[in-house]
Amino acid sequence: MTMTAGPAVTPESSSWATWLASRVPIDLEALRHFSNEPVPNHLKYWWWCLGGTPALLFGVQAVTGILLTVYYIPDAGSAYESVDRLTTVIPFGWFIRSIHRWASHLMIAAVILHVMRVFFTGAYRAPRELNWMLGVLLLAVTLGFGFTGYSLVWEQLSYWGVTVAANLTDAVPVVGGVMGRMLRGGESVGSNTLTRLFILHIGVMPTLLTLLLAGHILLIRLHGVTEFEFESPDKAPDEAARTYPFFPHHAMTEVIIGVGLAFALTCLAVIFPAELAEKANPLETPAHIKPEWYFFWTFRWLKLTSLTFAVLSIGFAGFLALIWPYIDERLRRRNTASEASVYVGAVAVVVLLVLTIWEAMASS
């Protein structure tokens, strides 16, 4: 038998590369250009690398999350026992679970720091308002991940956290009742609720986060990383001197962060492994109950104000955060030198910090 007709293969290039290039016709040059964005010099400082950290941690969560799903049973009657089995019986189950839990804490912390950095450096300003809004939505989804995640364990905190959250939803005027029922999947928190939370946690939210993240990164690339007007005398005029290439220099920074995170997560998992508290008991609210630290501020705020006001005010604050670039623009239109955003941001940080610390110090 002889070879039948086919594309000519040049002896210079390796045959598989040509084969692939003809089947997947991507303009490699354009891809290289697109991915290898010039990175401003200030990214040599670690403070500016917080944006990539949540993305890396999201990767960790995706992998460990899939692994946990192998043994987790999303049923109110078996969820807690399956987590218990995962933690105590399955080899390295405790490790995978601890990594997942610690990465969630770090992810939320990193997102918060990233938001603060972007806010205080004014990087959300035109033309990047849209990316700020994507970022706020990403923060919301991340917090949602945290909430649904610890609900799935179906321990006391899970059950009562969901119960309180569903009742809070009820407190939203007009639509609250419908939303609350929607979240519970019935009249009361139970098996239907757990299934819903599970689907949110492993289906809806990952999809949402992936899409938002893709949009977020795409916009960064299209706009280029924000360059700042540092008050330094040796301001370089041309782009080549103000930036450095993504590959390999910045990529290596991200590798350091990645391996560093892997190391830190492993240490945390060994030293403070994820534990399992008492099983959810619908008949008894534990005397001492607190949400995770990132919800402390809402918890304290609820204790200070009336239910409806608390819900509405938190919702309103979220809305303000979402549209902040436009508010900021108005303020600056009046006074170009306005530093209002810094003051507003500082007040917001102080208020949230005070509420959080207040709740943390409170004994119950």
Partner 1 sequence: MRTDRRQFLLSSAVATGLASAGALLASIVGRYLYPRAGVRRTRQLYVAPASEVPPGTGRPFTLPDGGTALIANTDGGYAALSNLCPHLGCKVHWEETERHFVCPCHDGIFDADGAAVSGPPADEGQQLTRYQVVQVGDHLFLELDEVVEV
Partner 2 sequence: MTLDEKRWVVAALSFMFLGALLIVAWVEGGRQRVQPEAAPVVAGESARCYDCHAEQTPVIATQWAGSEHARLGVGCFECHRAIESDADGFLHEGQLIATIATPKDCQSCHADIVDEFDRSHHSRAAEFVGSLDNVLGEIVEGRLAAVNGCWQCHGSPVRFLETADGEVQRDSDGKPMLDPQTWPNTGIGRINLDGSQGSCSACHSRHAFTTKMARQPEVCGKCHMGPDHPQIEIFEESKHGIAFRTQIDEMNLDAETWVLGEDYSAAPTCSTCHMSATPNQPITHDVGARISWTLRPVVSTKLENWEPKRNAMKDTCNQCHAPDFVDAFYVTFDDSIEMYNEKFAIPAQNVMAALREADLLTPTPFDEEIEWTFFRLWHHEGRRARMGVSMQGPDYTQWHGFFEVAENFYTHFLPQAEEIGEGTASVEAVFEEIRAMPEHLWREGMSPEQRAEIDAFYQERYGAVPR
List interacting residues with partner 2 (CB under 8 A): 44, 88-89, 91-92, 94-95, 248-249, 252-253, 255-256, 259-260, 262-263, 266-267, 269-270
Least distance to partner 2, CB of residue 162, Å: 28
Q: Is 213 in the site for partner 1 (CB under 8 A)?
A: no
Residue 44 contacts which entry, partner 2, partner 1, none (Cβ below 5-8 A, type-dependent): partner 2
Neighbour count for residue 84 (Cβ, 10 Å): 15
**Rounded Cα gap, residues 193 and 169, in angstroms:** 14
For residue 229, what are the CA distances in angstroms to 40, 46, 89, 234? 11, 18, 56, 11
Residues from 65 through 124 that contact partner 1 (CB under 8 A):
67, 70, 89-93, 95-96
**Rounded Cα gap, residues 70 and 92, in angstroms:** 13
Least distance to partner 1, CB of residue 83, Å: 14
Q: Is 130 in the site for partner 1 (CB under 8 A)?
A: no
Residue 260 contacts which entry, partner 2, partner 1, none (Cβ below 5-8 A, type-dependent): partner 2
Binding mask 220-259 for partner 1 (x = CB under 8 A): ---------------------------------------x
The alpha helices in the chain, defined as continuous H runs, are 15-23, 28-35, 52-69, 79-88, 93-120, 129-152, 156-170, 176-184, 191-199, 205-223, 239-242, 251-271, 296-304, 307-322, 324-334, 340-361
Residue 90 contacts which entry, partner 1, partner 2, none (Cβ below 5-8 A, type-dependent): partner 1
For partner 1, the closer CB: 67 or 352? 67
**Rounded Cα gap, residues 330 and 307, in angstroms:** 32
**Rounded Cα gap, residues 208 and 262, in angstroms:** 25
For partner 2, the closer CB: 66 or 270? 270
For partner 1, the closer CB: 6 or 91? 91
For residue 11, what are the CA distances in angstroms to 8, 18, 35? 9, 10, 30
For partner 2, the closer CB: 134 or 261? 261
Residue 121 contacts which entry, partner 1, partner 2, none (Cβ below 5-8 A, type-dependent): none
Contact 143, 153 (CB under 8 A): no
Least distance to partner 2, CB of residue 64, Å: 13
Bridge partners (DSSP) listed for residue 243 = 40
For residue 22, what are the CA distances in angstroms to 7, 27, 35, 187, 190? 9, 11, 21, 58, 55
Residue 253 contacts which entry, partner 1, partner 2, none (Cβ below 5-8 A, type-dependent): partner 2
What dihedral angle (degrees, nearest 10) is formed by the CA atoms of 57, 134, 248, 22? 100
Binding mask 3-42 for partner 1 (x = CB under 8 A): ----------------------------------------
Query: Contact residues for partner 1 (CB under 8 A)?
Result: 67, 70, 89-93, 95-96, 259, 262
